[in-house]
Amino acid sequence: MTLTFPVLYRDDHLEIVDKPAGVAVTDGRDARAADPVIARLGLLLCHRLDVGTSGVLVLARTPHGQRVVSDAFSRGAVRKTYLALVAGTPPDSGLIDLPLGEWKRGRVQIGRGRPARTRYTVVERKGARARLLLWPETGRTHQLRAHLSSIGAPIVGDEDYGGPAASRVYLHASQVALPWPDRGETVVDAPEPSGFTL
């Protein structure tokens, strides 16, 4: 299989791409190992996006780049913004501060485990659906999906967490702000995919 990702940013150490929905970034056995498609491109994984999530994916062209970026993610120094379509009527804005546990049978345990925090704001409403901007303050598996489900606003297409069926999971990593030594912050945006309208 040959797959190319639209490149949003490239330098000597990094290649930041726009991952389409439906593409795996890990090999399915080891969450730290890049999917063979990515590995064949000669790139190294710095973080993950779920299969159903589209948008900004930071990959490394060198082991040094991978170390610097992975360290920034582990320190919480990377700022990420997501766009989601949800079914439900969440408050206009808020902080979801709810721990998340182990991944079992396609879901994470909600309400126990490691601390997890997500800030959000509603940018548009129509009936019982809304468009949200999300800013995860931690980086847990399925964090945004589980947190939105916990407030009665599951993501459209995310049937694992109670969302209505759709052609895809309507979650998009729209921006990443990444610190880099001696260069300051690099901000990269991914264009909004079609269909993210109410």
Q: List active site positions.
A: 50
Q: Rounded to an integer, what distance in angstroms lies between the CA atom of residue 144 and that of residue 140?
A: 9
Buried b or exposed e, range 137-146, using 16+ CB within 10 angstroms:
beebbbbbbb
Residues in CB range of 43: below 8 A, 6 or more apart: 15, 34, 59, 60, 61
Q: Rounded to an integer, what distance in angstroms lies between the CA atom of residue 140 and that of residue 35?
A: 20
Closest CA relative to residue 188, chosen from 37, 79, 76, 43? 79
Single-letter code of the amino acid located at 62: T
Single-letter code of the amino acid located at 23: V
Beta-strand pair 171-180/54-60: parallel
